Amino acid sequence: AQSVTQPDIHITVSEGASLELRCNYSYGATPYLFWYVQSPGQGLQLLLKYFSGDTLVQGIKGFEAEFKRSQSSFNLRKPSVHWSDAAEYFCAVGATGGGADGLTFGKGTHLIIQP
């Protein structure tokens, strides 16, 4: 069965500093990988996704992620965070072949931005 591990429950970063959120997945074949952001009381917004091809993926809001098959990782990065980036971040994996199996999400990382 597929699974996602986000090792960091909370991360605190100063505004303007760089950010890296870790994500490790377990899946037998080539996975579909996603990063979502959730603000309090809101639904999920897709930041970026990886299906195939270039392993460095660019997303919205200045985020990027790198797929590393050898490490089963899909870490999210941003060079300079803004106070508005404070939110819950979820990594998710999906099976190839379409969406019928749904996505498997990690437990999330709560990002706190210090002024």
Partner 1 sequence: DAGVTQSPTHLIKTRGQQVTLRCSPISGHKSVSWYQQVLGQGPQFIFQYYEKEERGRGNFPDRFSARQFPNYSSELNVNALLLGDSALYLCASSLEQTYGYTFGSGTRLTVV
What residues make contact with partner 1 under the rule CB under 8 A?
A: 4, 32, 34, 36, 41-46, 49, 90, 92, 94, 98-108
Minimum gap (Å) between residue 96 Cβ and partner 1: 10
Closer CB to partner 1, residue 9 or residue 54? 9
Q: If you write DSSP's letter for every residue of 10-53 in order, what string do you get?
A: EEEEETTS-EEE--EEE-SSPPEEEEEEE-TT--EEEEEEE-SS
Minimum gap (Å) between residue 9 Cβ and partner 1: 9
Q: Quote the CA–CA distance of 109 and 87 in Å, as a whole number.
A: 8
Minimum gap (Å) between residue 51 Cβ and partner 1: 8
Q: How many residues in total does the chain contain? A: 115
What amino acid is encoded at 10 in this protein? H
CB 64, CB 54: distance < 8 Å:
no
Minimum gap (Å) between residue 111 Cβ and partner 1: 15
Closer CB to partner 1, residue 81 or residue 91? 91
Closer CB to partner 1, residue 1 or residue 70? 1
Q: Quote the CA–CA distance of 57 and 96 in Å, as a whole number.
A: 18
Closer CB to partner 1, residue 17 or residue 60? 60
